[in-house]
Amino acid sequence: MTAEPSRADLDRYREYLQEEVDGIYTYETLAELAEEGELRGIYIKLIATEQKHLKLWQEQLTAAGADATPGPVSRRARFLMWLARRFGPGLVLPMIRNFEADAGEMYTGDPIAEAAGLPADEASHARIFGALAETPGGVSGSTIGSVELRHRSLGGSNALRASVLGANDGLVSNLALVMGVAGADPGQATVILVGVAGLLAGSFSMALGEWVSVTSSREAAEAQLAIEREEIELMPEAEQEELSLIYQAKGLPEAEAQSLAAQIMSDPETALATLAREELGLVPEDLGSPSTAAFASFLLFSIGAILPVLPFLVSDATGAIVASAVLSAAGLFLLGASITLLTGRSAGYSGLRQVALGIAAAVITFGIGTLVGNVAGI
């Protein structure tokens, strides 16, 4: 006899149900935005799978006498699809791939999910374009080329992650610095001076580090691209054959792989971009600008670093220390919650975790500053 599901089981089923609601909404939106009929067909297949998953969890809840009504689409899913509509689906594809991989892990170990093959389904979604390429009678070579471009060009970058981490670095480092100095109680002017100096020093350091990093990566990539361009000019037949073999390895029939490779090699720039992605894992149009990266890093670090300093601009009393901690805690919570757009975790939990870690660092440095101030007679 099957045991009645516990309250924890029902809560888990509702969580699963919400994941499928978000998945259906996501793929319906991507289907609307798809430029090609075949690409739209990929998303329609995904929608059908998500609907089967949703029905499974509705059945489990109904069998237990619980409410099985799907809830509204989450704010996270709506925000991601707003980004897709505003800036193009390519921006959110890496995030969605991560969500699908997480969903596969979430279902692993659940007997009902495993019996219905959900972990395998979600893992397939995470690599859906490659999986469809291996399916007999699947999408055409032109669609594979289109998908490869969109999917891989953004796979190695994430502006949201960089933004959140940059601001977080500035906030935590300057909060700890300001609190350490404030603990010694050297006076309002000194705390402000140290806070501003920490902001500028950290911002310039981050900007320079980002400029060097992007410049070095770009120069290395350009050197590899130059070699690849020379090989295309000197050995076009060999490069075409290599590209054909790559597509055959992905499951494309030999004749179609050769036709697609020939079509790509007919345009030297398209050939260079494709071979760079396939052979080198590089995206020529996405190498990044060192100056833009440096400016963004400087700005984001500064935004985070200014928060702990602001209260001291208007007061030198204990209230300024409390206000600095509260303002910084609010910023930490917002940053922690923002990163859940990438991880799919609880915004409340991630935000509070970020607050706890940041405030812990501030408390420690404040204590050390107080001790040093007492010893030094400040």
pLDDT tens-digit series, residues 42-56: 788 788 888 998 999
Rounded percentage of the chain residues whose pLDDT exceeds 70:
80
Instruction: Indicate the domain borders of the chain.
Output: 7-153, 159-373
**DSSP string for residues in 300-365:** HHHHHHHTTTGGGGT--SHHHHHHHHHHHHHHHHHHHHHTHHHH---HHHHHHHHHHHHHHHHHHH
Structure tokens at 205: 């350091």
Identify the pLDDT of residue 150.
43
- Strand runs labelled E in the chain: none
Helices 254-265 + 236-249 axis angle, to 10? 140
Kindly tell me the burial class for residue 162, based on how many C-beta atoms sit within 10 Å of its own C-beta (0-12, 13-18, 19 or more): middle
- In 3D space, the residue among 136, 121, 132 whose CA is nearest the CA of residue 41 turns out to be 132
Distance of CA 255 to the CA centre of its chain: 37
What token pair was written down for 105?
């892990």
Residue 130's pLDDT is what?
Answer: 38
pLDDT of 153? 38
Residues in the chain predicted with pLDDT less than 50, given as ranges, are: 1, 129-158
CB 327, CB 192: distance < 8 Å: no
Confidence (pTM): 0.55
Instruction: Give the pLDDT confidence score for residue 172 in this predicted structure.
Output: 93
- The CATH class of 7-153 is mainly alpha
**pLDDT of the residue at 95:** 74
